[in-house]
Structure 1
Amino acid sequence: MSRFVLAAGGTGGHMVPAHALAEELMRRGHHVALVTDARGTRFPGLFENVETHVLPAGRLGGGPMGWLRAGRSILAGRRQARQLFREFQPAAVMGFGGYPALPALLAAFKAKIPTAVHEQNAVLGRVNRFVAGRVDAVATAYPDIQRLPSKAAMKVRLVGNPVRHEVLELRDKPYPPLDHDGVFRVLVTGGSQGATILSDVVPEGLGLLPPVFRARLQVTHQARAEDIERVRTRYAEQGIPAELATYLPDLPERLGRAHLVIGRSGASTVAELAAAGRPAILVPFAAATDDHQTYNAKELVEAGGARSIPQSQFTPVELAKQMQKLGLEPEALANAARRAKSCGRPDAVRDLADLIEEIGG
């Protein structure tokens, strides 16, 4: 039995894989503590039975004064992390990216505690990039990682992105049958916050489909609260049955029933599509740091499991064109589903737990 500290920034992309690892380590009999910021404590259902420590962590930006404030916060966080490590005595510390992970990793370097980082995206994030040369291992979700320092190349371990158990269970279920005249289920999701561009384009694009195809559609669309009534009205005007929600608590179940997903290419979305084996039309978020969502989609697209449309080219006409290429031939969709599944890494959480046990000695 060992003790491990997980350090994750307060966004779902960092917190969900860290939570999955915490559960696996505790299942193996280890003790786990979480280091995060205030945002990281607000995710319902995550880390409820894990010792949690909220440390100050500065975010670089805002000019010289902003850098100074951030530096003070990072140093304060490092002092608190060192005190925690003296009391908790971790065998290893793993960071999941985000500025709140930085003080814990700096404290671990000072205390000579073994360290690793996990990168969820196909582009190494700023904090992980900053510490990559000093950690003992860099766990990645994709075989091709951008912005990886050359001195960290030999430390890379491809493990994948952990996904929810409910999504992983879809891997053992067949792709839903689709007849030429059967119901065609489309799931539209822009991540936890929805995406206004999907609300603007998708109803219009589906409305351009041939009437015989449009009549088969059944849409579930996750949208922002401010967009939802407008989107509901537009679907109704075009005679397309659509269920609208700002949050889908049963998203894995809906993913299991979907024939096609239209969404962003955040790390968690791509990992879940690959784990479940669902074809997709992906629209990378144009303002994502280092354009990482475009790179996230690359493996799935090259395998033939998804199509990627740059946000600048995501128009109703282009969406309708891609929908017809995929949707009018059931076997093409089933084949895309198989190709998407080939990119899945269902053992990600097991391999990640093996890695931190290994470096913790």
Structure 2
Amino acid sequence: MSVVSRHYVLAAGGTGGHLIPAFALAAELDRRGHHVALVTDERGAAIPGKPDFLPAHVLPAGRIEGRNPLGWLRGLGAILEGRRMALRLFESFEPSAVVGFGGYPALPALLAATAAKIPSVIHEQNAVLGRVNRFLAGRVDAIATAYREVDRLDPKLAGKVHLVGNPVRDEVLTLRDQPYPPFTEDGLLRVLVTGGSQGARVLSEVVPDGLSMLQPALRGRLQVIQQCRAEDIEAVRQRYATHGIPAELATYFEDMAERLADSHLFIGRAGASTIAELTAVGRPAILVPLPIATDDHQAANTREIVAAGGARAIRQERFTAVELAKQIQAMAQHPHSLANAAHAAWNCGYPKAASDLADLVESFGAAPLMDVIRLGGEAPAASGNEAFARGGAA
């Protein structure tokens, strides 16, 4: 079977939540023999985990928000300059499609794609359509989602919505077929606690005391791994020592995927990548949505996994040591309870997210002759728009 190499541009904001799925899609498209380029901001170009084959193009990314008219003008000027730079990139790179993953740095590239009549797709990682994706949704050719229910998504656009899930890193996806670690009546209970790249202070304040309130039969079997902020780590270490609970603390764990695989229970925030990795591996969780997240999207992210029985969500204002101990006790009171929750979380995963998103993206920009070559002489595949009319790759 012959492979036709095409060019694709991925545009993403400079945070892990936007870039991790972009990197996963880039890896899948690269495996299929395509050339991929990344458009982002300076922060995104420097973020760890970017594949070596993926060139990064830094574009200006302005914001139009607040009440300062001068700020609006500066933001608009940066967006227009980014759009001009993206158009120049498209002239030389000639992408078959442009894929946006949200965040303000993605906006100029997607606007340029619309102006140049290049097919475009947006991917929404959260259960609430983000501001940039909300602005672009009516202009793009397809909308890929990570959840069945996405708030702030206009029902009139349902015809171009495709549920693919949220792509995760290869090292996480390879753990999906590993069994949940045995949890017995007298075995260790390994708890993994993280609060994002910097660690959440509220977790440092609440989790050690909450774990200390567990019934002795459970508390005596605890083994904790917790990511903390640098300024909090010594105080947290002292709390665990006072409670007599073994805990390994660090500001960053390079082998986070392996830590997740070994854990029986996760405690942390409810960002899109966190939920995607929990459901990819199949790990039960107690989730504390970030209360200042835009449009309260972290709370929305918990709906599916909580409804399935794979996690419990506690609002931060209710996240006390007493409440945490109560929820852990309920989840771990019988060995099979956590295993059942792990299976429920696993069932919420989308292990083919990167592949399905790549299929959707590939449905654009291929001339019929190219498809005949790619399919080894079979009948040409439907064009992007024809595929969408039938339901496409979703």
CA offset digits 1:192-225 (Å, max 9, x no partner): 1210111010001011112221110000001111
- Following the alignment from structure 1 to structure 2, what is the Cα–Cα distance between the partners of residues 334 and 51? 42
1:16 aligns with 2:53: no
Paired AA for residue 235 in structure 1: Y
Q: 1:265-280 residue pairs with structure 2 within 5 A?
A: 265-280=270-285
Q: 1:60 aligns with which of 52, 58, 64?
A: 64
1:306 maps to 311
Work out whether residues 24 and 170 of structure 2, in 8 Å CA contact, stay in contact via their aligned partners in 1: no
Match of 1:188 in 2: 193
CA–CA separation in structure 2 for the residues paired with 1:82 and 1:297: 38
- Is 1:41 the counterpart of 2:45 in the alignment? yes
Distance in 2 between residues matched to 1:156 and 1:214, nearest whole Å: 46
- Match for residue 325 of structure 1? 330
Say which of 25, 32, 35 aligns to 2:29.
25
Task: Tell me which residue corresponds to 1:217.
Answer: 222
Residue among 117, 134, 138 paired with 1:133: 138
SS at match of 1:360: coil
**Alpha-carbon distance in 2 for matches of 1:207, 1:294:** 27
1:152 to 128, 145, 157: 157
Determine the C-alpha separation between the residues in 2 that align with 1:96 and 1:185: 34
3-state SS, counterpart of residue 302 of structure 2: helix
Equivalent residue, structure 1, for 2:372? none
Q: Distance in 2 between matches of 1:58 and 1:350?
A: 32
Identity %: 66
Could you tell me how far apart the structure 2 residues matched to 1:65 and 1:205 are? Answer: 48
The DSSP-based 3-state class of the residue aligned with 1:23 is: helix
Letter in 1 for 2:117: K
**Residues 180 and 330, structure 1, Cα contact 8 Å, conserved in 2:** yes
Q: In terms of Rg, which structure is larger?
A: 2
Matched position secondary structure for 1:351 = helix
Q: Do 1:180 and 1:328's aligned partners in 2 also have CA atoms closer than 8 Å?
A: no
Q: Following superposition, which runs of at least 4 residues in structure 1 exceed 4 angstroms of deviation? A: none
Q: Secondary structure at the match of 2:153?
A: coil
2:249 & 2:55 partners in 1: Cα distance? 37
Shift of 1:181: 1.1
Work out whether residues 133 and 151 of structure 1, in 8 Å CA contact, stay in contact via their aligned partners in 2: no
CA distance in 2, matches of 1:128, 1:272: 23
Counterpart secondary structure, 1:336: helix
For 2:80 and 2:51, the matched residues in 1 are separated by 25
Say how many residue pairs are matched: 361
SS of equivalent residue, structure 2 residue 43:
helix
Cα distance in 2 for residues equivalent to 1:169 and 1:49: 21
- Secondary structure class of the residue paired with 1:14: helix
- TM-score, normalized by length of structure 2? 0.90
Which residue of structure 1 aligns with residue 389 of structure 2?
Answer: none
Are 2:360 and 1:355 equivalent residues in the alignment?
Answer: yes
2:350 is matched with 345
- 2:45, 2:57 within 8 Å by CA — same for their partners in 1? no
Distance in 2 between residues matched to 1:169 and 1:24, nearest whole Å:
14
SS of the equivalent of 2:324 reads helix
- Superposed CA deviations along residues 124-168 of structure 1, whole A, max 9, x for unmatched, are 000000000010000000000000023322111000011112211
One-letter identity of the residue aligned with 1:190: G
Q: Is there any run of 5+ residues in structure 2 with no aligned partner, and where?
A: 367-394
Q: 8 Å contact 1:35–1:53 — kept in the other structure? A: yes
Task: Judge conservation of contact 2:124–2:145 (CA < 8 Å) in 1.
Answer: yes
Post-superposition CA distance 1:55-92 (Å, at most 9, x none): 10102234211111000000000001111111111100
- Amino acid of the structure 2 residue aligned with 1:33: A
Q: Which amino acid aligns with 1:115?
A: S
User: Which letter maps to 1:198?
Assistant: L
Following superposition, the deviation at residue 360 of structure 1 comes to 2.6
The one-letter code sitting in structure 2 at the alignment partner of 1:30 is H
The answer to whether residue 108 in structure 2 is matched with residue 100 in structure 1 is: no
| Paired position in structure 2 for 1:87 | 92
Report Cα offsets for 1:319-345 as digits up to 9, x if no partner. 000010011211111100110000000
Structure 1: unaligned runs, 5 residues or longer:
none
- Take 1:153 and 1:248, find their aligned partners in 2: how far apart are those partners? 40
